[in-house]
């Protein structure tokens, strides 16, 4: 099992991927990275494994009687009209669970929360300011290039326990941290228009009264603005679960504290550079609520449904990318699972088949954009259900935030490995 962990770690170096939603707010919100739950319609509360432990659900963690190590990795493909087709492969999360008593568990881990990955957007053509509008009395050509990279990650500590025969609960506290770099390069040139082209930077060629005119750039100046942002904050969530023979009901409520942002602006014009640093915080808290239900069809199968509603992430307005605040989110998720149980003593114990679908609405101030997807996956549990490998495939499309009426299509493949061991065993006296 250690070799599997190592292989995933060394393949966690990713390639850049960008969507239209990643260049607003603080980047794109990362979905659930647990493949077992993701395969069930991108669920947060249910997994479809034999223990019914979901890494995204604190109220389910008490079911682990073993120390559990879990690591996840994902491979993503994105097709959009705004950018070339893109691929991304990276390590998505890591967590560990420790039983600390009878049906009591403490967990900790690390995962990304918001991500941009590195993205560069450049104007395709120069824009012009006419001589009558220019302070120099000559036409000016200009072009912008934006580079954005970084995001926010989450380090969390959680506690789970069974309260009564039917009720269990969990609480999760997270530290939010991260860095973001925004580079804005503005290229400006004086423009000389002539009937002949004698070299230099040709900006544009056009016809005027039958003559071919050439616009050539001279006396170029680049203005570079680098914004370095450092995020810090926290969040807390509480979750309760009711379980009976046929039904399971989950309620989760979370609150994000006021995110603090330290910004360093570095402005370079020609050979002159100036730097200023300031710090501010969000004025409001943000919250989220989730409700989930599982119906147990048989001992081996079940169906799930979840509803989630999240208010916009709380950042200062001047810290939002391109001054566009993060969206509010609402979603519905459907999932199902079936377990093939090996009655013979063999290497594997359970083969778990999963499937689902989801619909998510992203509510910006200027409109609502829909994200629709379908999921499928399988999991193999072996060595007495102490170890597992989970696979998930997700296909979907989302409305473009950049080009109204266009869609971004995506496919992602995810793998998760879990190993369980007995720790802190008391030695018997001889």
Question: What domains appear along the chain, each with residue ranges and CATH number?
Answer: 2-118+150-177+233-259+283-421 (2.40.160.60)
What per-residue confidence (pLDDT) applies to 385? 82
Question: Across residues 69-77, what is the average pLDDT?
Answer: 86
Spatial contact of 158 and 108, defined as CB atoms under 8 Å apart: yes
Task: Quote the mean pLDDT of the chain.
Answer: 83
Q: Is 280 helix (H, G, I), strand (E, B) or coil?
A: strand
Question: pLDDT tens, 379-428?
Answer: 999 888 889 999 999 999 988 776 667 888 889 899 999 998 876 555 44
Q: What is the pTM of this model?
A: 0.82
Burial class (CB in 10 A: 0-12, 13-18, 19+), 299: exposed
In this prediction, residue 40 has a pLDDT band, given cuts at 50, 70 and 90, of: very high
Those residues with Cβ within 8 angstroms of residue 106's Cβ, 6 or more apart along the chain or in another chain:
97, 98, 100, 157, 158, 159, 160
Q: Does the pLDDT value for residue 84 go beyond 80?
A: no
Question: pLDDT tens, 167-201?
Answer: 999 999 999 999 988 888 888 887 877 777 777 77
User: What size, in residues, is the chain?
Assistant: 430
| Lowest-pLDDT range of 36-45, 216-225, 283-292, 345-354 | 216-225
Question: Across residues 223-232, what is the average pLDDT?
Answer: 88
Q: How many Å is the maximal CA-CA distance in the chain? A: 106
**Within 13 Å and on the Cβ side, how many CA atoms surround 220?**
13
Burial class (CB in 10 A: 0-12, 13-18, 19+), 226: middle
In this prediction, residue 68 has a pLDDT band, given cuts at 50, 70 and 90, of: very high
Spatial contact of 215 and 192, defined as CB atoms under 8 Å apart: yes
Return the residue matching tokens 């009711």. 242
């Amino acid at each position: 099992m250690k070799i599997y962990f190592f292989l995933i770690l060394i393949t966690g170096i990713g390639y850049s991927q960008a969507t239209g939603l990643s260049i607003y707010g603080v980047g794109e919100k990362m979905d659930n990275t647990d493949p077992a739950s993701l395969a069930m319609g991108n669920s947060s509360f249910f997994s479809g494994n034999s223990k019914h432990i979901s890494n995204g659900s604190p109220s389910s963690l008490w079911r682990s009687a073993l120390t559990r190590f879990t690591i996840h990795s994902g491979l993503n493909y994105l097709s959009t009209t705004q950018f070339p087709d893109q691929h991304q492969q990276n390590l998505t999360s890591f967590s560990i669970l420790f039983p600390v008593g009878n049906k009591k568990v403490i967990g900790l881990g690390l995962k990304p929360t918001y991500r941009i990955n590195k993205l560069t957007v450049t104007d395709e053509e120069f824009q012009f300011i006419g001589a009558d509008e220019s302070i120099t009395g000559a036409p000016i050509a200009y072009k912008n290039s934006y580079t954005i990279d970084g995001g926010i990650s989450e380090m969390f500590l959680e506690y789970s326990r069974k309260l009564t025969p039917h009720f269990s609960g969990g609480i999760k506290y997270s530290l939010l941290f991260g860095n973001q770099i925004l580079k804005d390069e503005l290229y400006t040139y004086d423009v000389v228009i002539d009937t002949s082209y004698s070299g230099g930077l040709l900006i544009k060629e056009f016809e005027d009264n039958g003559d071919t005119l050439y616009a050539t750039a001279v006396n170029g100046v680049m203005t570079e603005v680098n914004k370095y942002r450092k995020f810090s904050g926290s969040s807390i969530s509480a979750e309760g679960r009711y379980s009976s023979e046929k039904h399971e009901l989950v309620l989760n409520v979370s609150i994000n504290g006021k995110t603090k942002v330290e910004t360093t602006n570095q402005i370079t014009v020609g050979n002159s550079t100036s730097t200023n640093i300031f710090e501010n915080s969000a004025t409001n808290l943000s919250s989220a609520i989730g409700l989930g239900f599982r119906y147990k069809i048989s001992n081996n199968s079940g169906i799930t449904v979840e509803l989630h509603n999240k208010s916009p992430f709380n950042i200062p307005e001047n810290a939002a990318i391109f001054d566009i605040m993060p969206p509010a989110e609402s979603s519905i998720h459907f999932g199902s699972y079936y377990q093939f149980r090996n009655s013979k003593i063999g290497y594997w114990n359970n083969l778990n088949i999963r499937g689902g679908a989801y619909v998510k609405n992203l509510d910006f101030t200027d409109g609502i954009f829909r994200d629709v997807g379908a999921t499928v996956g399988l999991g193999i549990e072996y060595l007495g259900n102490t170890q597992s490998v989970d696979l998930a495939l997700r296909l979907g499309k989302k409305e473009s935030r950049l080009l109204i009426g266009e869609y971004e299509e995506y496919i992602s493949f995810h793998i998760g490995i879990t190993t369980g061991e007995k720790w802190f065993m008391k030695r018997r006296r001889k």
